Structure 1
Amino acid sequence: MVRKLVKLPVIGEDEVLYHYTKLNGIQGIILERCMRATKSSFLNDTNEMYYILHVIRDVIGKIECPEWKELLTSQVLDTVLEMDRSSYYIVSFSTEPDSITLWAEFGDHTGYNIGFESGSLLKIMDTRQVVSYHGYVIYDRKEQEEMLRELLFERIPAALGISFEAMMSVAVAEPESDMFLKVKKLIQKALGIYALFFKQEEFAAEKEYRIAFKERGNSRILFREKEGFLAPYIAIDLSGGKKKLPIRSITVAPKNHIDLAREGMKEYLRSHGYQVDVELSRIKLRY
């Protein structure tokens, strides 16, 4: 039921998703045909669950009925952090083809980005392991609040076949009722998903797009070194059917503007059967 409640804006099939990485990341994608999905709680923005709590508190804070407001705050929000959202693994992309922010963060100015045809990539991923959710990361606070208002006041009551007012009246009268326990669980689970796709406006330059995979019983958890600690990830198999990946382009980072970087990448791609444009970043850096 939660999948029907969570509504995310998604990319068009013919649009391009850019994955910023280092050279060994490019080689792993092309040679091994896999990408790394990092455990959500180990991403750079570890306060995402706390952030969404601020957003939903503002939404609930505008409810006029004090009893409803108090009940939702004490029975739902104060227990949200008990929810385990760490079972989701994320592959991050951007819709920005040449971002100085992402070059610095993921490529250390010496990396690359690889542009994928989004529709084909999602189909390949979904062939080998189920894509749980995917969508644009939302940075605008007003849009975030509107999405949560729709969840709380419309989608959840509609899923239960009842109005929000009737739902809350029952909840106040019987806070331990099966109906309200179900409401609590639906709100908590939906917030756990939205937390993966909500960020503060300060991160808007990233123009991030996320693909989320739920950890399953047969998932093989691997580990990679990240800034001095070990980050869990799962390998996302990209070998689904086609011989070649739907790569549209590769761009070389600003600090990597040497002929050998571009020509070496062209040769590497040709050796694996790809005829793909290799471009240089248009960003000019001062040294």
Structure 2
Amino acid sequence: MSKGQFESEMNSHPIDSRSLIPFISKEFKTHFTKNITALYHYTNLEGAQGIISNKTFWASHIKFMNDSKEYSHGLEICEAIVQNLIQEFPKENPRRAYLEEVFTILEEQDTDIFVVSFCEREDLLSQWRGYSRSKHGVSIGFDYVALFDVSFHLSEENFFPRKVIYNHQLQQQIIHRIIEVALASIEMNADKTAYTPKEVARTIGYFLPLFKHSTFSEEKEWRIIVTNSKSMPYQHELKFRARDNIILPYIELLTHNKVTQNDNKLPINQITVGPSGTNEFTARSLNYYLKNVGYPTVPIKISHIPYR
């Protein structure tokens, strides 16, 4: 991007040092979202009851999730790109020092990343195995428009779900673009960049949890990403709960139904009971529960996947 192109873009889309994340989100909007009617959240019965009763999702710390190693996949891609770009600049070039600082911050990141996962499909074996964490799993189907505003939110504070990116070349393109915009801002004003190295590192760190290896593409996953950093002015309250063999850090995300006539009920369009030896019995108990907590018309389905 030339200096003139960058200035023109900045004039048409005013931004500040706190808004690199929404700037990149908007540019790659078609890759992070699409026209769908529903998203499904896989959990166990206890988790489903908590979501429905409290109208709250629990965003888990990415380092303690089942697929936590996927974060290192994106980080390795990013570090390779930044290192290669560093080598392109002579040692006395300020851009090299700038990128070196970005790289250092990435390695010493103080940002905690929390994730809520959704899926485009209601009955998927990999999701039952990964998220229900027991033989009594359910997937809760949410009306996409009602739960998440149809307009594309540009800030992570809006808790808007984004599609996971499985394409390796697109992952590289996003990282390159973040760095390109940051370096172009230096070119526009040699004395002061629009983005500090910390903001660039934070932006990269925000998108990395949306990068997964292509072999996982059948999961069709979407994620809400929430960040907590000591350097940020606002901190989400950190909570802990025991799960299996770990103490899991998480934060609570309170939902806000966009459809006001629903009496502040969650816009649940169906619940699917996962494969188990007692799924019919589980479905009856779930139906009774829903009727008594204000969801008498929510249909309950049984997984088509054979129980083993």
TM class by shorter-chain length?
0.7 to 0.9
Note if contact 2:239-2:249 (Cα within 8 Å) is conserved in structure 1.
yes
Question: Could you say if the C-alpha distance between residues 213 and 61 of structure 1 is closer, same or farther in structure 2, counting changes exceeding 3 Å?
Answer: closer
Shift of 1:20: 0.6
Q: Does 1:247 align with 2:284?
A: no
The residue aligned with 1:263 is 284
Distance 2:86 2:63 in 1: 35
Distance 2:35 2:42 in 1: 20
- The count of corresponding residues between Structure 1 and Structure 2 is 268
Match 1:229 to one of 243, 246, 261: 246
Q: Does 1:4 align with 2:30?
A: no
Shift of 1:112: 0.6
The range that moved more, 200-209 or 241-250, is: 200-209
Distance 1:206 1:264 in 2: 28
The residue identity in structure 1 corresponding to 2:120 is T
The residue aligned with 1:114 is 140
Note if contact 1:133-1:213 (Cα within 8 Å) is conserved in structure 2.
no
The range that moved more, 131-140 or 7-16, is: 7-16
1:121-200 equivalence runs, <5 A = 121-123=147-149, 130-131=157-158, 134-153=161-180, 155-157=181-183, 160=185, 162=187, 178-179=192-193, 182=195, 184-200=197-213
Q: Does 1:25 align with 2:47?
A: yes
Question: Could you say if the C-alpha distance between residues 85 and 15 of structure 1 is closer, same or farther in structure 2, counting changes exceeding 3 Å?
Answer: farther
Shift of 1:202: 3.3
Return structure 1 stretches of 4+ with deviation > 6 angstroms.
none
Question: Could you say if the C-alpha distance between residues 141 and 276 of structure 1 is closer, same or farther in structure 2, counting changes exceeding 3 Å?
Answer: same
Identity percentage of aligned residues:
25
Q: Does 1:280 align with 2:307?
A: no
Match 1:15 to one of 37, 40, 43: 37
Distance 1:47 1:104 in 2: 17
The residue identity in structure 1 corresponding to 2:109 is M
* CA RMSD of superposed structures (Å): 3.3
The residue identity in structure 2 corresponding to 1:118 is Y
Distance 2:105 2:48 in 1: 41
Note if contact 1:37-1:90 (Cα within 8 Å) is conserved in structure 2.
yes
Distance 2:239 2:270 in 1: 29
Question: Could you say if the C-alpha distance between residues 28 and 188 of structure 1 is closer, same or farther in structure 2, counting changes exceeding 3 Å?
Answer: same
Structure 1's unaligned 5+ residue stretches are 171-176
Distance 1:78 1:214 in 2: 19
Distance 1:73 1:156 in 2: 10
Shift of 1:270: 1.7
Distance 1:98 1:269 in 2: 20
Question: Could you say if the C-alpha distance between residues 56 and 251 of structure 1 is closer, same or farther in structure 2, counting changes exceeding 3 Å?
Answer: same
Structure 2's unaligned 5+ residue stretches are 1-18
